[in-house]
Amino acid sequence: MRTKVSMPVKQAIMKLKNENKTIRDIAEAVDLPKSTVWYIVKKQERTGELSNGKSSGRPRKTTVVDDQKILSIVKKKPFSTVKEIKNTLQDTGVDVSATTINRRLQQHNYKWVTARPPDDMASQPQDQSRMSLLQEQGRREILQRMQTSSIINNKTMDLEYLLDVAQQELALARATSRHVDIPEELVCSLQELIYRLGQSMQSVAEAPASPSDIVTVTVDHPPSSE
């Protein structure tokens, strides 16, 4: 923002100019940029006046006192919202927009922060089975999946596929545990299943190719939550 030069300083500049001082010497004496000093001298020579012309543009919506009120509100309550600050100022007779409040805070080295939305899995696009995990019956559905799914219901299937599905079930149980109460025995059962599948796959890899590559995996059903 451009700063206006006071009349006494302008008069001092012209006095030094009349003493045949250079623009550089005058700028150093009054502690102003050389371009500012040069502009003041040329304006006086051209118009014979030193007074500032009429400024264009809209005046500031807030005064220095209003700015101090905004800063005072933020210092007392650092997590105030723009709406709260606006309402507080309106109670004192000051009506300004949210943009003006943000601008005044930025001018005093304050940064506006947007609140982080709550961590809600339901707001993310998911299939119906995963969305139901957020409800109270989520724990029962996991247990029921462990008991009735053909994945571990004494079925004979490919070991690699079985291991992949078991790992997915374990990852899902761990992710869901942040929102619903997942029994510890369920996680332990999944970990045990993955371990046993890994051992079986290692045995199959070391043995000659035979029908034993397809094995039956049985896991004890975890106790019902009911």
Per-residue pLDDT tens over the stretch 29-39: 998 899 989 99
Residue 168 gets which letter from DSSP?
A: H
Q: How far apart are the first and last CA of the chain?
A: 71
**What is the structure's pLDDT at 147?**
53
Contact of 122 with 135, CB cutoff 8 Å: no
The residue written with tokens 């004890």 in the block is 220
Alpha-carbon distance of 29 to 13, in angstroms, equals 9
pTM higher than the cut 0.75: no
- 126-184: pLDDT as tens digits: 554 444 444 545 556 655 655 554 444 444 445 566 666 667 776 776 666 555 555 66
For the chain, domain boundaries: 7-47, 64-107, 128-218
Residue 95 gets which letter from DSSP?
A: -
Alpha-carbon distance of 190 to 184, in angstroms, equals 10
- 49-99: pLDDT as tens digits: 887 776 667 788 888 888 888 888 888 887 888 888 888 888 888 888 888
The pLDDT mean for the chain works out to 71
**Alpha carbon of 20 to those of 13, 45, 50, 163: distances in Å?**
11, 14, 19, 93
